[in-house]
Amino acid sequence: MTSRHRDDRREQRTAVMVPVQRIGHATYATPDLARQVAYYTEIIGFTAAERGRDRAVLTTRLGHEVLVLEAGAAAQCTRVSFQIAPDFDLNRAIAHFSKQGVRSERRTGITPGIADAVVFADPKGTEIELFSAFDEAAPRGTIHGIAPMKLGHQAFIVPDAKSMTDFYCDNLGFRVSDWMEDFFSFLRCGTDHHTVNFRTGAKTFMHHIAFELQDWAHMHTACETLGIHKVPILWGPLRHGIGHNIAIYHRDPDDHIVEFYTEMDQMKNEALGYFDPRPWHEDRPQRPKVWDRHSGAIVWGTPPAPDYLRSRPAMPAR
Ligand SMILES: [Fe+2]
């Protein structure tokens, strides 16, 4: 393919894609709704803005919807919502997916804060809810639990990280921030280094869900809070190479890996194409690239505990 053809193809993608701007909330089915709600409100510190018999809608202390928990047979991530550009008509999203052969539909009142959405299933079967406007709940006046700032990213194991990455870039406007070799992609849709990650593996499942903390002091609060509640930290604190976020990981009562992070790389200017300079960067400036599995995983910190690696796919052979 000539560079002219590549440019033409890029322009076509830019013209038709649905412009995702940020991640909204994630929806999880759980076999024990009461236990998950108790954990995410009492320890993590979210607020139940709505609590029905089979569903709870949780918000951050700032009043943003962050997690929807629904009664279900198996513990799994079923839906992820993204906010698209406010001036992008939802009907244009339906027209786009129709052209791509992807069935989508309008849904109303998906949460108390989202009146109107376009919903489609991505290639791994997760329902994606796109919305362009939302209402905030009242912010919480007092700090309770860990109280993360927001849902930051969701990582998934998929059969082919490359094809899933292409789908998100071609249809939803994501950009590749980094690859770990050829099996783990990190995609951004705003200034944050990554909002979704895809790792190649034999079985499709949610790899981890990540919530942003304010700073190092907030990370200290998270560690102490998990300690008080006897929740083991399975990896970290550490600084990752890819994204350079400081992170800790634990498992929630449904066995999902939960990450708390802070100091994630920021690309504040897409035209410049590099991440805001930081003292811990290897490259100057730090641009999107392909990392090896060792330098990409850890700048400093210890390897993960066996309980973090449990049920995770092994590193692919080289
Ligand atoms: Fe992460």
Per-residue pLDDT of 188-229, as tens digits, reads 999 999 999 999 999 999 999 999 999 999 999 999 999 999
Kindly state the tokens that stand for 146. 């860990």
Span from the CA of 261 to the centroid of ligand 1 (angstroms): 8
Among candidate residues 98, 131, 164, the one where a domain is terminated: 131
Whether residue 38 is predicted with pLDDT greater than 50 in this model: the reply is: yes
Q: Please report whether residue 87 resides in a domain.
A: yes
Cα-only R_g, the chain: 19
Cα separation, 110 vs 97, in Å, equals 20
Cα separation, 186 vs 204, in Å, equals 17
Whether residue 21 is predicted with pLDDT greater than 60 in this model: the reply is: yes
Span from the CA of 243 to the centroid of ligand 1 (angstroms): 9
Task: Of 311, 199, 307, give the one whose Cα is nearest residue 251.
Answer: 307
User: What CATH number has the domain bearing residue 29?
Assistant: 3.10.180.10
Query: What stretch of H or E contains 96?
Result: helix 90-99
Q: Please report whether residue 139 resides in a domain.
A: no
pLDDT digits (tens, 9 = 90+) for 159-176: 999 999 999 999 999 999
Q: 255 and 173, same structural domain?
A: yes
Per DSSP, what are the bridge partners of residue 64?
none
Neighbouring residues of 89: CB distance < 8 A, sequence distance ≥ 6: none
Span from the CA of 264 to the centroid of ligand 1 (angstroms): 10
Q: Please report whether residue 9 resides in a domain.
A: no
Span from the CA of 235 to the centroid of ligand 1 (angstroms): 12
- The half-sphere exposure of 55 on its side-chain side, counting CA atoms within 13 A, is 10
Section 79-93 average pLDDT: 96
Q: 263 and 166, same structural domain?
A: yes
Q: 161 and 116, same structural domain?
A: no
Q: Please report whether residue 315 resides in a domain.
A: no
- Angstrom CA distances, 268 to 49, 110, 177, 210, 265, stand at 32, 31, 13, 21, 9
Span from the CA of 18 to the centroid of ligand 1 (angstroms): 24
The residue segments making up the domain with residue 86 are: 15-131
Q: 170 and 124, same structural domain?
A: no
Whether residue 5 is predicted with pLDDT greater than 60 in this model: the reply is: no
Q: 99 and 172, same structural domain?
A: no
Query: What is the chain's length?
Result: 318
Q: 304 and 251, same structural domain?
A: yes
Q: 301 and 231, same structural domain?
A: yes
Structurally, how many domains does the chain consist of? Answer: 2
Q: 243 and 162, same structural domain?
A: yes
Question: SS3 for 199-238, per residue?
Answer: EECCCCEEEEEEEECCCHHHHHHHHHHHHHCCCCCCEEEE
Q: In the β-sheet with 184-188, what is the strand arrangement from edge to edge?
A: 235-239, 246-251, 257-262, 205-212, 150-158, 196-200, 184-188, 175-180, 289-291
Span from the CA of 86 to the centroid of ligand 1 (angstroms): 27
Q: 256 and 156, same structural domain?
A: yes
Q: 207 and 122, same structural domain?
A: no
Whether residue 239 is predicted with pLDDT greater than 50 in this model: the reply is: yes
Query: What stretch of H or E contains 86?
Result: none
Residue 88 carries which DSSP code? S
Higher pLDDT: 142 or 275? It is 275
Section 19-47 average pLDDT: 98
Whether residue 6 is predicted with pLDDT greater than 70 in this model: the reply is: no
Span from the CA of 2 to the centroid of ligand 1 (angstroms): 36
Query: What stretch of H or E contains 317?
Result: none
Q: 175 and 282, same structural domain?
A: yes
Q: With pLDDT > 70 as the criterion, what percentage of the chain qualifies?
A: 95
Specify the pLDDT at position 16: 58
Q: 156 and 263, same structural domain?
A: yes
DSSP codes of every residue in 163-183: HHHHHHHHHH--EEEEEETTT
- Angstrom CA distances, 8 to 3, 5, 13, 283, stand at 9, 5, 9, 31
Span from the CA of 197 to the centroid of ligand 1 (angstroms): 8
Kindly state the tokens that stand for 284. 């100057």
- Which of 183-212 are b and which e, b meaning 16 or more Cβ less than 10 Å from the residue's Cβ? bbbbbbbbebbbbbbbbbbeeeebbbbbbb
Q: Please report whether residue 110 resides in a domain.
A: yes
Cα separation, 49 vs 62, in Å, equals 12
Q: Are 231 and 253 in contact (CB under 8 A)?
A: no
